[in-house]
Amino acid sequence: MKLGGKIIAAVMIIIIAAVLAVTGLVMAENAGNQYSFNEQRAVLSAEALKNKIDSVSEKVQYCAKLLAQNRRMITAMENGNVKGLELILGDINGSLKLDMITITDQKGAVLLQLPQTDHAQNVNTDHAVMKEALSKKLFWSLEAQALEG
């Protein structure tokens, strides 16, 4: 092989090696950028979820206070007027748009559940949520289903 052919072959090998090196560096940098991008998306998603939980939580707390202070509801509860309670809650929930409302007596017996279901039953009064709710303090809870949609 002549000297010119050897030089061309050496230059070609150098060019191929340079292209492979640059390609490897670009791929490594892109992989690092992709990880950083995914990390940023995860942080933003977590922040959005926290904001959604806070927003729904504030709404549920507001609704619990509104229902607990509603004079018509208090009177219906005191008189044991479940049908009246159902009408009042239906009217109120027309604007509140809660997914579910469960009203129990002090023993945990379900007096009313909206929407009505066939499986409404007495609740477990030993459950921490029910103990708090039955302690005559304002109490509300946020369930996972409230965050869907």
pLDDT digit string, tens, across residues 5-62: 778 888 888 888 888 888 888 888 887 777 778 888 888 999 998 898 888 888 888 8
Q: Is 115 left (phi over 0), alpha (psi -120 to 50) or beta?
A: beta
Residue 140 has pLDDT above 80, yes or no: no
Question: How many CB atoms within 10 Å of residue 133?
Answer: 20
| Residue 14 or 117, more confident | 14
pLDDT tens, position by position, 83-107:
888 888 888 888 888 777 878 777 7
| Residue 143 or 103, more confident | 103
pTM above 0.85, yes or no: no
- DSSP lists the bridge partners of residue 113 as 102
Question: How many CB atoms within 10 Å of residue 57?
Answer: 15
Q: What letter represents residue 124's amino acid?
A: N
Q: CA-based Rg of the chain, rounded to a whole angstrom?
A: 32
